Structure 1
Amino acid sequence: MNTKKSILLIVIVLLIDQISKIYIKTNFQLGEEIYVFDWFRIHFIENNGAAWGTELGGRTGKLVLTLFRLCAIVGIGYWLRKSIKEKAHDLLIISVSLIFCGALGNIIDSVFYGVLFTDSYGQLATLDTANAYGDLFHGKVVDMLYFPIWQGNLPEWIPGVGGNYFTFFNAIFNVADSAITIGVMILLFFSKTVFPKK
């Protein structure tokens, strides 16, 4: 896979990610949900950028996380460039391209959304830099894809959690998260192919 194809993949996935996020942010109020199927919903939430919406020490933690991600994407970009230059297996280049554009998609939210959009609490957000909800590097990541495939009480015989209400799959994520996950899964499932022994 050459550089042009890698860039094309990155641009396409990044556009899908950002268009979907901007659409959701400007057409849904925070917490609003629509059913596509019983097992698939569009559910608008925002998080500070850590996995599963984890908070990391307020504004300072958020800034540290964003700066770490910026450094990480430089490293991923270097890995991608090196892989293309060394004519690595196409699956490796595809997976690293997906990880790169997924990380970049969430970085865009974290860095810029706070200074571009108004708040989404109880209202539709608008593109309004004069009344934006945050600061540069303190934006929130938009998530919307929700797949509660099964919900119900767990059987009583399961130790520790028996009888508790449980949802499988409870995470809410976005296209960028999906790209990262797919990229990592390719690396794991095809590790012998993408990392051949020399």
Structure 2
Amino acid sequence: MRNKSEFLIFKCSKHQRHRSISSITLIIILLLDRGTKLYVSSIMLLHDSFPVIDGFFSITYIRNPGAAFGFLANASHTFLSLFFVVVSAIAIVLLLLLIKNMKDEQPLFTFSLSLILGGAVGNLIDRVCYGEVIDFLDLHLMSYHWPAFNVADTSITVGAVILVYQLIVKKREVPGVQIFKE
């Protein structure tokens, strides 16, 4: 009689599962990010907005040449484009190296880094194609307005929260990287 695990669709080694988590996460994030950005930019004019939940959530099509919270707001468009492409490319290479060296028994680390990687690649594609990032998710809470963002930004944020949770709350270490040294 065969072992039940032989009948699994994804019969693979731990190392292959580790790579699968990363690849599947990256593909899903890129498809969601690109798909939503292309859809919004094809049906809306720049700066158009429509409420989804009145007074709380709108879809607002903007293009962001800078970074969050006005970082480098006074820099030239050429400098910003080059700066963010280079910084994103370096971050992507570092994330790929971390994922490659990740231990197989740490799928949550792999998942969190893959979320961050997917978001970084998604926003890099925008920077290379348009020189700026397409944002459209627009939150309001009473008189407070959160800057518009996109699926890639959300992916980066969720990945970072999971990573910080693993490092601080669970006190786990990223393989090959010593964060907390006593």
What is the TM-score when the length of structure 1 is the normalising length?
A: 0.72
Q: Give 1:47's aligned residue.
A: 64
Equivalent position of 1:78 in the other structure: 97
* Structure having the larger proportion of residues in helix: 2
List aligned pairs for 1:102-181, cutoff 5 A.
102-112=119-129, 114=130, 139-151=131-143, 167=144, 169-181=145-157
Alignment partners' CA distance in 1, 2:121 and 2:140: 27
1:13 Cα shift?
Answer: 1.2
* Cα distance in 2 for residues equivalent to 1:88 and 1:180: 22
Tell me by how many angstroms 1:104 deviates. 0.3
The TM-score with structure 2 as length reference comes to 0.78
Change (3 A) 1:44 1:110: same
Alignment partner, residue 189 of structure 1: 165
The equivalent of 2:177 in structure 1 is: none
Query: Which ranges in structure 2 are unaligned for 5 or more consecutive residues?
Result: 1-16, 175-179
User: What stretches of structure 1 of length at least 5 have no aligned partner?
Assistant: 115-138, 152-166
Residues 80, 93 of structure 1: 8 Å contact kept: yes
Percent same amino acid among aligned pairs? 32
2: CA distance, partners of 1:22 / 1:59: 23
In the comparison of the two structures, how many residue pairs are matched?
155
Does the aligned pair in 1 maintain the 2:115–2:159 contact within 8 Å? Answer: yes
Judging changes above 3 Å, is the alpha-carbon distance between structure 1 residues 67 and 150 closer, same or farther for their aligned structure 2 residues?
same
Q: Which letter maps to 2:121?
A: L
Q: Are 2:43 and 1:27 aligned?
A: yes
Match of 2:20 in 1: 4
Separation of aligned partners in 1, 2:151 and 2:126: 12
Q: What is aligned with 2:8? A: none
Root-mean-square deviation (Å)? 2.0
